[in-house]
Amino acid sequence: MLSQGFVSAAAIAASVLFILSLGGLSNQEKAKRAVWYGIIGMAVAVFFTAFGPGIGGYWLMIPMIIIGAIIGTRLARRVEMTEMPQLVAALHSFVGLAAVFVAWSADLERRRVLAARAADGVMQDFSAFAALLAHKAPDELMFLQVEVVLGIFIGAVTFTGSVVAFGKLAGKVDGKPRQLPGGHLLNAAAAVLSLLLAIFYLNGAGFWTLLLLAALAFFIGYHLIMGIGGADMPVVVSMLNSYSGWAAAAIGFTLSNDLLIVTGALVGSSGAILSYIMCKAMNRNFVNVILGGFGGSQGPAAEIEGEQVAIDASGVASALNDADSVIIVPGYGMAVAQAQTAVSDLVRKLRAAGKEVRFAIHPVAGRLPGHMNVLLAEAKVPYDIVLEMDEINDDFASTDVVIVIGSNDIVNPAAQEDPNSPIAGMPVLKVWEAKQVFISKRGQGTGYSGIENPLFYKDNSRMFYGDARESLTALLPMVD
């Protein structure tokens, strides 16, 4: 059994490692080292927490840790980069559900302590947590109740919201925003009832209040995320990340675990900041997004004229051979087709021919912030040719060829031209200003968000239909 001094020192060390990990993830070149900081920090946190003072039940804990490690390792090996967004959503749901269970357990232990005090003050067979509660004053136990309420509410919203997000990202749930009759009023009513139940609980009501509170929060999480469309899913992922952090922090206070408080606060604050950045990149109001599109655009979308004109691999190759400058815009379609390696091969061939090749990355490309950057780094694309939207958006007008691979909303001119579009006002990559635009796409569908794209009908655009990896593989031999 380790002393409290060792545990406190380990908590500080792990916190520093987590901060270094978050800081390093902002840079592609430092990202791998940053991930190792996080891994080491978590290993330190788990070890020193498990063997700290007052911890027991190793006959159950150690097998659970081993089983969890095996499952985690198998999932990590099986999950493709294309499935990372839904994996992140699933992991958020685990944190939320754990917060609910811990909060319920904490209140049951609190009730046992109060019952013992009311009887004869003798405490037998109490857990280490209950023994800790036994030394708390009545006002401290009241504060514990506030922590329990917050843990249950935030955790339950995170759990069902993350489950729905997983379903939408995995294509198992329709990506279009859907709500029950009553819409936002149902969410508001559930929130008011949750507040009333919290007040009843804090004033001495029974455990049933916490069960009903969890049920209402489960509904809010489900209904809230169901009402958010696919175009806003990158914000949803970062928002749920923030929720899971605050749920962990609330439970950290409940368990008097400093490391859980610090870690939860880091995750919660970084997720909130990232959500704000995503909303700013999409010209979205953060409150509107998390309320399921409340106050969105009104009126019919503009009519689109013309037709989508297809082109084959030889036509695209001919344009690339004649071009001096090329910009590639990757999207989730590239991830689905696992075409990043083929894209990297194409880039090397074009650069060897003396052509200027760059990548344009929109802040919300893919279904997870930074998704495209990770895929391109995995395919060993040089960092210096991967540019953010603000760095390259003014260069499209002087570019010969743009290749869009599986993107829709981030290259949709309706964001600037149609005030009634669901993505009106969202900053987009102005690819249509280039001399020629080739869009690699499986078919003529509207894509994940269900929003039609006028880019596909413009005179300088051609549709390069087919699986992205197969299309690029067929293209490679024709490029000089």
Q: Which pLDDT value is given to residue 329?
A: 95
Q: What is the mean pLDDT of residues 168-173?
A: 80
- Lowest-confidence region among 79-93, 141-155, 426-440, 442-456: 442-456
Q: What is the mean pLDDT of residues 460-468?
A: 92
Task: Kindly tell me if the per-residue pLDDT of 447 is higher than 50.
Answer: yes
Separation CA 43–CA 399 (nearest Å): 49
- Lowest-confidence region among 347-361, 377-391, 437-451: 437-451
Higher pLDDT, 430 or 141: 430
Nearest Cα residue to 152 out of 103, 207, 197: 103
- Lowest-confidence region among 149-158, 363-372, 443-452: 443-452
Separation CA 80–CA 78 (nearest Å): 6
Given a contact cutoff of 8 angstroms between Cβ atoms, the answer to whether 103 and 260 are in contact is no
Separation CA 411–CA 334 (nearest Å): 15
Q: What is the mean pLDDT of residues 409-427?
A: 83
Task: Kindly tell me if the per-residue pLDDT of 100 is higher than 70.
Answer: yes
Band of the pLDDT at 230, cuts 50, 70, 90? low
**How many whole angstroms from its chain centre is CA 298?**
28
Band of the pLDDT at 328, cuts 50, 70, 90? very high
Six token digits for residue 313: 């691999």
Higher pLDDT, 402 or 289: 402
Indicate left, alpha or beta for 426 from its phi (over 0: left) and psi (-120 to 50: alpha).
Answer: beta
Band of the pLDDT at 134, cuts 50, 70, 90? low
Q: Which active-site residues does the annotation give?
A: 409
Band of the pLDDT at 338, cuts 50, 70, 90? confident
Separation CA 147–CA 250 (nearest Å): 6
**Sign of the C-alpha dihedral computed for residues 248, 253, 259 and 265 taken in this order:** positive
Nearest Cα residue to 377 out of 341, 405, 406, 348: 341
Q: What SS3 class is residue 452?
A: coil
Six token digits for residue 220: 């809010």
pLDDT above 70 as % of the chain: 87
Separation CA 282–CA 21 (nearest Å): 26
Six token digits for residue 391: 């760095």
Q: Which pLDDT value is given to residue 198?
A: 95
- Lowest-confidence region among 116-125, 301-310, 441-450: 116-125
Q: Which pLDDT value is given to residue 293?
A: 54
Given a contact cutoff of 8 angstroms between Cβ atoms, the answer to whether 192 and 259 are in contact is no
Which of 97-101, 178-182, 332-336 has maximum average pLDDT?
97-101
Q: Which pLDDT value is given to residue 295?
A: 44
For 34-81, write each residue's pLDDT tens digit.
889 999 999 998 888 888 776 777 888 889 889 988 988 888 788 776
Band of the pLDDT at 460, cuts 50, 70, 90? very high
Measuring CA to CA, how many Å separate 287 from each of 195, 275, 365? 20, 11, 21
Q: Which pLDDT value is given to residue 294?
A: 47
Task: Kindly tell me if the per-residue pLDDT of 120 is higher than 80.
Answer: no
- The sheet that has 436-441: what strands, in order across it? 386-388, 356-361, 325-330, 401-405, 436-441, 461-465
Q: What is the mean pLDDT of residues 16-40?
A: 81
Q: Which pLDDT value is given to residue 379?
A: 86
Q: Which pLDDT value is given to residue 199?
A: 95
C-beta neighbour count of 140 within 10 angstroms:
10
Q: Which pLDDT value is given to residue 448?
A: 58
Q: Which pLDDT value is given to residue 383?
A: 85
Higher pLDDT, 232 or 328: 328
Tokens 């993830």 belong to residue: 25
